[in-house]
Structure 1
Amino acid sequence: MKKIELGELLGQMTVSEKVGQLLQLAPMFYKGTITEGEITGPMAEMGITTEVSENAGSVLGSTTASEMIAIQEAYLKTNRLGIPLIFMADVVHGYKTIFPIPLAIGATWDVELAEKMAAISAKEATAAGLQVTFSPMVDLVRDPRWGRVMESTGEDPHLNSAMAASFVRGYQGNPDELAENHEKMAACVKHFAAYGAAEAGREYNTVDMSMRELYQNYLPAYTAALEAGSKLVMTAFNVVDGVPATGNEWLMRDVLRDELGFDGVLISDWGAVKEIINHGTAANSVEAADVALRAGVDIEMMTTCYLENLERLIADGALPVGLLDEAVMRILELKRDVGLFEDPYRGLKGDVDRQQDILSVEHREVAREIAADAMVLLKNDGDLLPLGATGRKMALVGPLATTQDVLGAWSWLGDMKDAVSIEDGMKAQFDQVDVAGAMDTENVTEAEIAEMVRVAQDADVIVLALGESANRSGEANSIATIRLPETQYPMIDAIRALGKPVVTVLFNGRPLDLHGLIEASDALVEAWFPGTEAGNAVADILSGRVNPNGKLPMSFPYTTGQIPVYYNHLRTGRPADAADAQEHYVSQYIDIPNQPLFDFGFGLSYTTFAYSNLELSSDTITKMDTLTISVTVKNTGTIAGKEIVALYVQDIVGKVSRPCKELKRFTKIDLAPGEAVVVTFNLTEEDLRYYKPNLDFTSDPGDFNVFIGTHLQAAFCLA
């Protein structure tokens, strides 16, 4: 439909039908897949009649093509104007082919791999009838106690922005071609805004930060996703400047729509409209509906404040009907943009069987590649790794040795039975592997530890597979102490006491305090939750088939009490390394170091790289110039390897305190042994801008330092 036709359609709708378009319900509320008797209970609880479900605008969480077709067919038989439903779900890191968790994808520092992951996810999800994914989550994260750090790509605004844009491009392709390309789906960037800063790392908790911090560090990734064309935005559960995001007119209209230029659909998170009451800024569902619509929330997910109140508020003149009309128009435009008016089934009733795309061999191969590239080598004493495929007797032990629980949170459409366990992956590549696992990561028993010791005592090398279970991270899984489950530590001690070389493979959805583990490991591989191809990817790293090249997207704290700790922190008036400060009266802990155990950007390789010849095209630039920065990187080892070359900038003096350094550019290169390349970056005055006390986004004349990783440093001046 053309836009003018949508206007005509809107003109034919009753107020009740318009309100219905703003309601999103789960599949259980619709005819077509289950009997009316089965849906009577939930419908009664929410006050939803058959008439309401026949006019609701979208479906949350449908899982198969047959279900989607059945629901749509039944719906279109009763909807007066024939406006099709749109189907949405959380396809976060894969549909059936599950990729590493997003935090792990951030560890690849590879925007092309991120885009490829999203494209495959969209291909499989659309084959199952979905048209919108609630991804990417681009919240900046600095507190690993928050379970949802696994759904972010880390602590840096620039890296998060690059990944956010890649996810959107992968899901949507060219957003103007969504209607014709049925293998693409609309992206929904979340959670707007600043949800990653929940106090104490506690899910659904409050957020309190300065406007400068919001604009400088938290908004850039949302902006990048919107500039890439994201069709939807989801509201956050938290408050922003004391006002719940879902009812925050300043945030959603002034910032999101006016400043950032977003004109797509704004959807609440699950139940967030009604939760405005719990926040204490609305007395009842009437007020909640009023403030949410005024804020510009177009779709209310799984509560009924709009349904119960909007028609009466408009009839009484308390709300202008124009607010309702603009929300409905945005929903109709989304349905048009994904091609639902031309084909409500988006090709699923055609002759081509798209189910063959789901969990295909080709998709699994990409998942394996990304999983291996996401793994970070944190320790490798004595070059214990790689192990090689033959000649050593190995023991694989630990609670993650045999399990297929390696998909991670937000993989609800994936099936663990499709996942490759570490046992199967290693046995496919190593000729001597004895195995002893455990039933539960939270409760490793003495008998299981004894069996692990028995299996490991005659081995040449012990591979210790441990970590969290998938349900220990993700939404509503905050933890106060970021350590391994306590029953794993006696197991670690017993294995270490054997005196054998120990390679630890760590599975987790968040940075952890690794004390008690790092000392007991000769080598340590951070595997995250690798997804469907977990076991094969782990074996690829251990055998040397893949040279590890991942770098941490989020700092690993020394201990929980150090949180938040992140690389791009502000300077302090009494830095611990100040030569003229009294030794005691400086910004420091007296019991632990200031530095994290492993910094943002840390990651080892099986080869070595040398950096040299850092050159700047000029030591002074103006606002009209481009500064070219080059560095020579050489593989000085004996095997091929990938290296992430990162460029950081430090603003020496600003109108407000500036970070110690900020990531501005990065690239990944692949070098053969002995090969050297010149890596070139370009910077302009725009890269040096920041938010001033009045929130003007400008630069200052002055001096700057440039860092290439931790290797080389140079200086220039902005005139």
Structure 2
Amino acid sequence: MNSVMHGLLKSHLTIFPVDSRFARLSGPFLLSALLGGCGQKIEYTQPDLGFRSLELIEVDGYRFKDLNKNGTLDPYEDWRLSPEERSQDLLSQMSLEQKAGFMSINTLNMLGSRKAAASGGAYQASDLDEGQVKESEEERARRPNFIGGMNASTSTSQRIQTFHNRHFILRLNEPAGVIATWNNHLQELCESEPLGIPAIITSNPRNHISGNASEGTALNASVFTAWPGELGLSAARDLELIKEFADISRQEWLAAGIRKGYMYMADLATEPRWSRVNGTFGEDPEWVAEIIREVVIGFQGEQLNTKSIALTMKHFPGGGSGKGGQDSHFEWGKEQVFPGGRFYENLLPFRAAIDAGTSAIMPYYSMPVGTEFEEVGYSYNKAVITDLLRGELGFSGIVNTDTGPLTRMVWGVEDLSLHERYKKALEAGSNIISGISDPSDLIAVVENGMVDPALIDASVLRLLIENFQLGIFENPYVDPQEADKIVGNEEFRTRAAEALRKSIVLLRNEENSLPVDARKKIYFETIQGSAQSDPRGDKFVWKELPGIPDLELVQSPEEADLAVQWVIPSLSLFNATGEPISLSLSENNIDVAHVRSIASQVPTILVMDYSNPWVIDEIYDDADKGNTLAVLATFGTTPQALFEVITGAFAPAGKMPFSTPVSNQAVTDNLEDVPGFLEGEGYALFHYQEGLSY
């Protein structure tokens, strides 16, 4: 049998499902049986083995890690076997305590640069948390209530050795080499444990420029290559570029040791007041589905493998239609409504993610109201998870709850005890519980007979298969120096710069005023909404802008031929109070009087940064444009990219990823589950897919 036929046969055999009657014969065992008559010995490629303290075992000329330190080669240690076979063997060796700990995921942070600097050299930023000074009561009091529970007060060693946790969320934004070193410290600790099960590190997005990134949802790009926000990628209307973004981000995460993403949001931006619109790819379910497919393939590949970043697509079945735009992190936003009858349109991006092979899916906290489904949070909703997601949509991967639905966002199950919530979530189909480190309650639920132990085994099996597919049992370690070289390298930044330019949308261009001559005297100011008490927000006048030839920036409108005002409002999820949400600029800490004053003095280019579909009638009206020569939209970009468009070095190419309401009344009257392009005549100031060029 030639090598081509051998490869085709092997790839075909490995697609049998776990519960197939052929499962025990899949992979090398079945292949050996079929090839035995040919008298041909199977050749394998020796993988790189990363280890610190383990012994190696040599069998048939190949090397294997003795993960459980018993001196013999167990099936789960044998990389020649399929992930399913290895997982079944390891599962049989795990205690209930180990299984329960493996089904828990919570935030685990390194010491971090700030605390390392404050330690006077006693600690490094990449240190595990043993010995660090815990957060003070004053610091904890300043943190939003719901996030406070994300950060366990237990030590790393306790979570590894006592709780048997192996899934962790990293929320700190540190240099790549620091993350890589921290990962290696963590893996070394895991390696020393009896079964040698490695850790898997998960993160929220960290490759985007974001005006309102928050710890619980995303990280603003730092050393990681900075691409446009998700809305900006959508606005660029370039699927090949989006796939390239995902592949470049994959390479960076892989180098740093982050192997899983709590991303991306397949939710639709149908409710303009939702504070998480900036994490979506817009309002059109069909276009978002196309993007999601490219993102999954870019991060994971055609199949999950040793170079993949496994994705957790969220928030099933779509979280964008909260009543009144409120968010279900809070009790006042727990209801998800569908006044337009479009529940099933929300599923299109998730179908695309499933077809592309997404490794995991995360249900949201919300509970559906006015549908055929039970009015409980989606993590507890068996009809949604088991019947719809697994049954109708055919998803066979991991269901990962959002962070905290068993202890804080307990919508629809408030009257149940914690143990009863565990039972309901597990029987609904949830496989891994986020926001909990100590598995003792899950253990008790099994020991007291409330749930079938088979549910636990099925969940652990899914989680183990993912880990074996990612190859972290063979080598969970990374090279910190290599991470620093790969992350944010010049080639990656050059490709991201293309996306930053393409994401900018030109909406109005009176009398072809753009592009402008860069030699004009330009007053350039950013006006940013502030979460602080100052209702005027923050303002910054630019003195220079490297990379834009011949650009002359002046420091006052009186000196200028032209003003460029970049207005950047922010609607933070964690500043919500339950009061009705307004999208007007003045109610989001933009100094409207200041913006008007500048525009009254000098011809102005208005640039709006859209993390939400802002209502801008306080500063711009199509019927009375005043001195406004042009209007542009950004979705997380750089001043350099903006001025390349303004000066004509790059012709604008972006298209709006959503509609923007013409007034606050239009916002109030909108149907939460209906995209702006279907809201009807008179709804939009700027329409979905609108965008000009030169």
| TM-score over 0.5 (shorter chain) | yes
- Secondary structure of the residue aligned to 2:243 is helix
1:245 shift after superposition: 0.3
- Secondary structure of the residue aligned to 1:328 is helix
Note if 1:482 corresponds to 2:563: no
Q: 1:551 to 1:90 in 2, by over 3 A?
A: same
C-alpha distance in 2 between matches for 1:276 and 1:468: 28
Checking the alignment, whether the CA contact within 8 Å between 2:110 and 2:182 is kept in structure 1 is no
1:273 shift after superposition: 2.7
C-alpha distance in 1 between matches for 2:664 and 2:135: 47
Which residues in structure 2 correspond to 1:187-198 (within 5 Å)? 187-198=311-322
Correspondence for 2:145 = none
C-alpha distance in 2 between matches for 1:295 and 1:540: 52
Note if 1:494 corresponds to 2:563: no
Checking the alignment, whether the CA contact within 8 Å between 2:201 and 2:259 is kept in structure 1 is yes
Correspondence for 2:240 = 112
Correspondence for 1:151 = 279
**AA in 1 matched with 2:255:** A
Tell me the alpha carbon deviations over residues 309-358 of structure 1, each in whole angstroms, 9 at most, x when there is no partner: 2322222322111000000001101101111111122xx149x8232111
1:376 shift after superposition: 0.8
Checking the alignment, whether the CA contact within 8 Å between 1:189 and 1:233 is kept in structure 2 is yes
Note if 1:549 corresponds to 2:653: yes
C-alpha distance in 2 between matches for 1:158 and 1:474: 27
- Secondary structure of the residue aligned to 1:243 is coil
1:97 shift after superposition: 1.5
Q: 1:8 to 1:601 in 2, by over 3 A?
A: same
C-alpha distance in 2 between matches for 1:429 and 1:158: 37
Correspondence for 1:55 = 164
Checking the alignment, whether the CA contact within 8 Å between 1:376 and 1:525 is kept in structure 2 is yes
For structure 1, the 5+ residue unaligned runs are: 404-420, 437-454, 572-592, 607-719
Note if 1:429 corresponds to 2:532: no
The match for 2:560 among 431, 435, 459 is 459
C-alpha distance in 2 between matches for 1:230 and 1:89: 16
The match for 1:82 among 183, 189, 196 is 196
Structure whose residues are more often strand by fraction: 1
1:227 shift after superposition: 0.8
C-alpha distance in 2 between matches for 1:267 and 1:80: 26
C-alpha distance in 2 between matches for 1:424 and 1:362: 28
Q: 1:262 to 1:395 in 2, by over 3 A?
A: same
Correspondence for 2:255 = 127
Correspondence for 1:379 = 508
Note if 1:34 corresponds to 2:34: no
Question: Percent same amino acid among aligned pairs?
Answer: 24
For structure 2, the 5+ residue unaligned runs are: 1-78, 112-125, 137-150, 209-220, 531-539
C-alpha distance in 1 between matches for 2:347 and 2:187: 37
Q: 1:560 to 1:229 in 2, by over 3 A?
A: same
**AA in 2 matched with 1:428:** G
- Secondary structure of the residue aligned to 1:268 is strand
C-alpha distance in 2 between matches for 1:110 and 1:27: 36
Checking the alignment, whether the CA contact within 8 Å between 1:149 and 1:196 is kept in structure 2 is yes
**AA in 2 matched with 1:203:** D
C-alpha distance in 1 between matches for 2:354 and 2:575: 27
C-alpha distance in 2 between matches for 1:601 and 1:53: 53
C-alpha distance in 2 between matches for 1:537 and 1:123: 24
Checking the alignment, whether the CA contact within 8 Å between 1:375 and 1:548 is kept in structure 2 is yes
Note if 1:258 corresponds to 2:391: yes
Which residues in structure 2 correspond to 1:227-246 (within 5 Å)? 227-240=355-368, 241=373, 242-246=375-379
Tell me the alpha carbon deviations over residues 16-58 of structure 1, each in whole angstroms, 9 at most, x when there is no partner: 1110100113224999622256579975679995566551120
Correspondence for 1:645 = none
Q: 1:425 to 1:542 in 2, by over 3 A?
A: farther
Which residues in structure 2 correspond to 1:631-642 (within 5 Å)? none
Correspondence for 1:287 = 420
C-alpha distance in 1 between matches for 2:471 and 2:379: 28
**AA in 1 matched with 2:279:** E
1:277 shift after superposition: 3.5
**AA in 2 matched with 1:222:** F
C-alpha distance in 1 between matches for 2:408 and 2:163: 26
Which residues in structure 2 correspond to 1:202-241 (within 5 Å)? 202-204=326-328, 205=333, 206-209=335-338, 213-215=342-344, 217-240=345-368, 241=373
C-alpha distance in 2 between matches for 1:141 and 1:111: 19
Q: 1:427 to 1:35 in 2, by over 3 A?
A: closer
1:430 shift after superposition: 4.6
The match for 2:465 among 333, 339, 352 is 333
Correspondence for 1:667 = none
- Secondary structure of the residue aligned to 2:553 is strand
Q: 1:340 to 1:381 in 2, by over 3 A?
A: same
Q: 1:258 to 1:489 in 2, by over 3 A?
A: same
C-alpha distance in 1 between matches for 2:541 and 2:268: 31
Structure 2 length-normalised TM: 0.71
Note if 1:524 corresponds to 2:648: no
C-alpha distance in 1 between matches for 2:615 and 2:164: 51
The match for 2:693 among 584, 587, 605 is 605
The match for 2:298 among 170, 173, 182 is 170
Q: 1:477 to 1:69 in 2, by over 3 A?
A: farther
- Secondary structure of the residue aligned to 1:310 is helix
C-alpha distance in 2 between matches for 1:261 and 1:487: 47
Correspondence for 2:13 = none
- Secondary structure of the residue aligned to 2:567 is strand
Tell me the alpha carbon deviations over residues 500-524 of structure 1, each in whole angstroms, 9 at most, x when there is no partner: 3211122231111121322352101
Checking the alignment, whether the CA contact within 8 Å between 1:231 and 1:264 is kept in structure 2 is yes
Higher relative CO (Cα under 8 Å, sequence separation at least 6) belongs to 2
Checking the alignment, whether the CA contact within 8 Å between 2:569 and 2:590 is kept in structure 1 is no
Q: 1:515 to 1:373 in 2, by over 3 A?
A: same
Checking the alignment, whether the CA contact within 8 Å between 1:423 and 1:535 is kept in structure 2 is no
Q: 1:544 to 1:477 in 2, by over 3 A?
A: farther
1:153 shift after superposition: 0.9
Checking the alignment, whether the CA contact within 8 Å between 2:277 and 2:612 is kept in structure 1 is yes
C-alpha distance in 2 between matches for 1:321 and 1:11: 13
C-alpha distance in 1 between matches for 2:264 and 2:541: 28
**AA in 2 matched with 1:283:** L
Correspondence for 1:140 = 268
C-alpha distance in 1 between matches for 2:259 and 2:196: 18
- Secondary structure of the residue aligned to 1:175 is coil
